[in-house]
Amino acid sequence: MSQTHPEMHERRILHTELMWSFGVGIFVAASLSMILFTAFTISVNPPSNVERLDPKTLHLSGEFAEHNLGTTVGSDGSVTVRAIATQFMFLPRCIVVPANRRVTLRFASPDVIHGLLITGTNVNTMVVPGFVSQVHTEFTRAGDLLMPCHEYCGLGHSEMWATVQVMAQDEFKPGSDGRISCAQR
């Protein structure tokens, strides 16, 4: 082989590759440790709530019957939003939520796969028929946000969106039955 003894070369190459692999290890550790750090300290998870619900009888009389939809404030002050993602609209079309307060949003689909995100927030989930999708979040700023369906659900997918009204604490006044709907603007 080459005049200078090859062993020196070959081992040196593997040595540099090993050093580089060590650097790659730091890269992997950095990305994973940030994930673990926020998972431990502020419980950052992807929204995962494995709760099965038959999409075919969703509209009959359970949690997601038509009159149960919308924002309700429980006796313990917990805010829960229930909405349906169906072919080509969300029901309710306008969802009202309080700012700077823990909110639980629950979605279900009676027909095909949908998905949703609320612009500018970390609310993002798929809505799969057969399951209830649940997202816990806190809205940091008041204002109107857009909640489009971001998963292809048929020819009307582009027109499927809802509005989210984030109300300041003082405006957010639920009725006697704990229910509240969007302010007409």
Partner 1 sequence: MPDVTPSPPSEPHVLDQPWRMWSSLAVFGVLLSGILLGVLVIPIVQGRSVGIDAYTAICRALGILPGSPAQPQPATPLPGMPVSQVAWTSDLLQILARADVRRGHAKVQEVCVACHGERGDSIGVEFPHLAGQSGAAIYKQLFDYRTGSRAHPMMTDVAKALDEAAIADVAAYYAGQPQRNPNPVTLAEAPPSIVQLVELGDPKRNIAPCASCHRAGAGGPIETPVLAEQRAEYIEQQLKLYASGERRNDVYARMRTIAAQLTDDEIRGLAFYYRAGFR
Partner 2 sequence: MRNAERLCLAHFWVAFAAFLFACAIGTWQMWVRSPLGANVGTPGQYFMSVTAHGVSMAYVLTTFFIMGFGYFVAVTALDRALPGKLWAWAAYWVALLGVVLTVIPIATGQASVLFTFYPPLTASVWFYIGLVLVVAASWIWCVLMLIAMTEWKRENPGRPVPLAMFATVANAVMWLWTTVGVAVELIFQVIPAALGLVQTIDVGLARTLFSWTLHAIVYFWLIPAYIAFYTMAPRAAGGRLYSDTMGRLTFILFLIYSLPVGMHHLLMDPEHGNATKFIQVLLTAFVAVPTLLTIFTITASMEIAGRLRGGRGTFGWIAALPWERPMVLATGLSFVMLGFGGFGGIVNMGYGMNAMVHNTSWVTAHFHLIFGGSVVIMYFAIAYAIWPRLTGREYQSRAPLRLQLWLWFLGMMIMTLPWHWLGLQGQWRRVANFNYADPIIAAWGPWVIVSFAGGIILLASAVLFVGNLAALHRGPALGIVRPLYALAVHPPLRVPAALNGFGLWNVLVLVLMIAAYGYPIAQFLIDPSPGAIVHRVR
Partner 3 sequence: MQSDTSSAADSPFDAADDIDETALADVMRSVPLGAAVLAGTAVALLVLGYLAVYLLVFIPRGTVG
**Site size for partner 1 (CB under 8 A):** 52
Cβ 92 to partner 1 shortest distance, Å: 9
- Residue whose pair of structure tokens reads 């109300």 in the numeric block: 167
Task: Look at residue 140 and give the partner it binds from partner 2, partner 3, partner 1, none, a contact being a CB closer than 5 to 8 Å depending on partner kind.
Answer: partner 3
Closest approach, Cβ 49 to partner 1, in A, equals 5
Cβ(53)–Cβ(62) below 8 Å: yes
* Secondary structure class of 169 (helix, strand, coil): coil
Among partner 1, partner 3, partner 2, none, the one that 173 touches (CB under a kind-dependent 5 to 8 A) is none
> From residue 9, how far is each of 4, 75, 77, 87 by CA, in Å?
8, 74, 70, 65
CB of residue 175 vs partner 2: minimum separation in angstroms? Answer: 29
Strand ranges (E), the chain: 70-73, 79-86, 89-91, 94-98, 102-108, 114-117, 124-127, 133-138, 143-148, 161-167, 179-180
CA distance 48 to 137: 13
99: partner contacted, choices partner 3, partner 2, partner 1, none (Cβ within 5-8 A by kind): none
What are 150's strand-pairing partners? none
CB nearer to partner 1: pick between 8 and 155 = 155
DSSP state of 141: S
> Taking CB under 8 A as the rule, does residue 149 contact partner 1?
no
Strands 133-138 and 102-108, by their bridges, are antiparallel
Burial of 171 (0-12, 13-18, 19+ CB in 10 A): middle
In the complex with partner 1, the residue whose CB is nearer, 7 or 170, is: 7
Binding site for partner 2 (CB under 8 A): 1, 6, 9-10, 13-14, 16-17, 20-21, 24, 27-28, 31-32, 34-35, 38-39, 44-56, 111-113, 115, 117-120, 122-134, 145-146, 148-159, 161
Least Å from the CB of residue 113 to partner 2: 5
Q: Which residues bind partner 1 (CB under 8 A)?
A: 1-2, 36, 39-40, 43, 45, 47-51, 56-57, 59-63, 65-68, 72, 74, 78, 80, 82, 84, 86-89, 91, 93, 102, 104, 106, 110-112, 132, 134, 136, 154-156, 158-162
